[in-house]
A and B are shown apart, each in its own frame.
Chain A
Amino acid sequence: MFSVFSADKYLRFYLIIPAIVLLLLLTLFPIVYILYFSFFEYSSNVDVPHQFIGLENFKRLFVDEAFHNALKNTIFFTVVAVSIEFALGLGFALLVMNFIEKVSIIKTILLIPMMIAPIAVAITWKFLYAPFVSPFNHLMMKLGQAPILFTSDVKLAMPSIIFVDIWQWTPFIFLMMLAGLASLPKEPYEAAQIDGASAWQQFRDLTWKFLQPVIIITLLLRIMDAFRLFDQVFILTRGGPASVTDTLSFHIYKVAFRFWDIGWAAAMSLFMLAVTLTISIWFVGKLNVEK
């Protein structure tokens, strides 16, 4: 079957065309569609056509409070969650790096949270956050206190979501850092020790520099994923209470599927796409693609 293509100088293109076609389906068509609808006001009524409203939806990006709230929440979540995960992951990797290679089963267990379905993670934590089912609240009630409403309290809801994300993704950072640390060259450290450098100096001048590529990849992957947080919000808080956990993805979902204001959802989606593309460009640049 393969022999048909052997001598063809266009072989390289034949090989890649199926991929390109399928991906076009996933990217080009949706973007065109979204672009189109962002200029309209969608109508759910079978008798009323969609109304052309020009740039109204885009103007709304500047004034809509709910959208700004979602954007703010998403940025806050991304920055805080990824920072904490990074600090914990790197710290833990530094701590255990010489001990853990030998017992790989431990590594595997620690990685389970990020392998299972995000929705399963969300449900697992729904149990731990629920007022009457959670062991923490059992403890509270035994002590005579009211149950803590993790996902119901305006001040606690976002930290609760952040905590779930930390639980789920710190292993990822841990693993990447561990791999990076495992491939550090030995000589610079030996030289540094001979020169009498302290542990902190070694870390600052050597480790940190050598880990740069790994850190960049890891951080960027995490930032991308954190930016589009959906499943946990959907299961745990549904954007509440009082919209404090309303993230961009969830907000777009609400506007699209609850209010059927597709035009406005499209405009917000384009905004999200622009941000995502910007970060992607930087990421790919760092990955040294052959030209």
Chain B
Amino acid sequence: MKLIKFLSCVLSLVFISSYVYAITVIVPNGGEGDGLRAAAKDYTALTGVEVEFVQAPYEQVFDKAANAANTKSGSYDIVLMDDPWIPFFAENGHLAEMGPYFDALGVDGPDNDFLGKSMAICRNPYNSGPYVCIPYVGNAQMFFYNTAAFAEAGLDGPPADWDSVHAAMQKISASGSFGYVLRAQEGNPVVAQYMPIFWSFCGKLFDENRNATVNSPEGMKALEFFLKLRDVSPPGAASMNQEETGQYILQGMAKSTINWPNWVTNFEDPSQSNVVGEMTYAAIPSGDCAGSSEIGHWALGIASASKNQQAAFDFIHWASSKEQIDISAGRGNPPVRFSTFTNPELTSQAKFRHFPVLMEAINYSTPRPRHPKWPELEQVFGVYLSKAVAGVMSPKEALDKANAELDKILK
């Protein structure tokens, strides 16, 4: 008897459930997640709707959201998605279409204050289909460089083409620091770093028939230049991710890199950075073709398995409104609205001096290919790029093998 009492006591502990939330959001660790979380606190204070947050490391946000989607568990109502994941979720039917919710509000869709390119990634098919998400963080890569160091090395004015920039980098590397720091960890990191260079040498990932063309002559040229960047970078590029490359810049040991705008806040933060005020944020230099940054927005989507879609939509709509995007920008998340980019209250501050450049970058950016198997494609491509950087494979071999593997996946 005592045993039964004890067991039931213990089992009841098991079933004490926590507060039942109205909506559950999954976000990544770091600035994007923190910003949305802070916004949600305001939302709850405003409307009384409880918003529960699950914060996970970057890769696991995808793993868990995809897991929930595949098993239709509906654990997450809202997913803050990185742009490369959107095609996977959208084309597999895991995102709820927003059309009906906008209709209920009496509008066609998101308002025109959003940047065109930002809106385009949230439509499935790209730029033409119905909306499946709303952009929230306006990421597009920029070229970050230390103004003084490059001026000393002979770069007059903004960096326009790779050759002159590279010449300056070589001078810097010869004199003690590093001209560039290359992010080449296999998978998403190296691919994100590679694409702007690939595009600026006129490379194309696929042709019209969806055959892979990464080993085209343009591709070879791009990879060879990529390796030249490695040569002016600190050793060990083949495993560097944001954390390491960021540190090299923050400590002033490397003088330039291609990176995402959320790092601007770090570079301008005296408690972390030795280079406050020393960096210039510019557009990607050109090669044979115009420089184009990779767009890498974060967008809010409603899970199609969610049981609280209306509540989820209301929150997303609120969080992406003009006032909220302004506040989010103030917290350090790059905005997605024209009005925010041109808001004098923000642009007058030194730490937002990159806004005009960023807006330009977004407007001229190129999205990653909208293919549902992009995570796998990116991973495979990334493995070979990283091997080339590590010197384990010759550039030609790496690109040829990558091309073959990509074709297999594209089938």
Contact = CB atoms under 8 A, between A and B. Distances in A.
Interface of A: 1, 44-47, 131-132, 146-147, 149, 151-154, 157, 237-243, 254, 257-261
B70 A260 contact: yes
Given A44-B372, A132-B247, A242-B186, A152 B386 contact: no
Nearest to A239: B186
Contacts of B221: none
A258 B4 CA distance: 44
Given A45-B92, A241-B386, A242-B238, 11 more contacts: A1-B1, A45-B91, A46-B72, A132-B244, A146-B234, A152-B244, A240-B186, A242-B387, A258-B59, A259-B379, A261-B376
A247 to B, nearest CB: 15
B63 A257 contact: yes
Nearest to A262: B70
B239 A151 contact: yes
Contact of B379 (A157, A242, A258): A258
Interface of B: 1, 3-4, 59, 62-63, 66-67, 69-70, 72, 88, 91-94, 185-187, 234-236, 238-240, 244, 247, 251, 304, 372-373, 375-376, 379, 383, 386-387, 390-392
Contacts of A154: 238, 390-392
B301 to A, nearest CB: 15
B299 to A, nearest CB: 19
Nearest to A1: B3
A46 B92 contact: yes
Contacts of A261: 376
10 contacts: A44-B69, A44-B92, A44-B372, A45-B93, A149-B240, A154-B391, A243-B186, A258-B63, A259-B379, A260-B70
Given A1-B3, A152-B236, A241 B185 contact: yes
B234 A152 contact: no
Contact of A46 (B234, B304, B386): B304
Contacts of B386: 240-242
Nearest to B89: A44
Given A45-B93, A153-B236, A153-B239, A242 B375 contact: no
A168 to B, nearest CB: 22
Contacts of B1: 1
Contacts of B66: 44, 257, 260
Contacts of A240: 185-187, 238-239, 386
A140 to B, nearest CB: 12
Contacts, number: 90
Contacts of B244: 131-132, 152
B318 to A, nearest CB: 28
The 7 closest A-B pairs by CB, nearest first: A152-B239, A149-B236, A46-B93, A241-B239, A45-B92, A152-B236, A257-B63
B383 A47 contact: no
A131 to B, nearest CB: 6
A164 B63 CA distance: 27
Given A45-B372, A146-B235, A241 B247 contact: no
Contacts of B392: 154, 242
A149 B383 contact: no
A131 B241 CA distance: 12
Nearest to B93: A46
A269 B299 CA distance: 35
Contacts of B63: 257-258
B304 A241 contact: no
B371 to A, nearest CB: 13
A238 B187 CA distance: 10
A240 B88 CA distance: 24
Nearest to B185: A240
A154 B187 CA distance: 15
Contacts of B70: 44, 260
A242 B235 contact: no
A131 B69 CA distance: 37
A228 B3 CA distance: 38
A185 B309 CA distance: 73
Given A44-B70, A241-B185, A258-B62, A152 B240 contact: yes
B80 to A, nearest CB: 18
Contacts of A237: 239
Contacts of A146: 234-236
Contacts of B69: 44
Contacts of A157: 239
Contacts of A47: 93
A224 to B, nearest CB: 26
Nearest to B237: A152
A261 B3 CA distance: 46
A111 B297 CA distance: 47
A125 to B, nearest CB: 15
Nearest to B234: A146
Contacts of B234: 146
Contacts of B373: 259
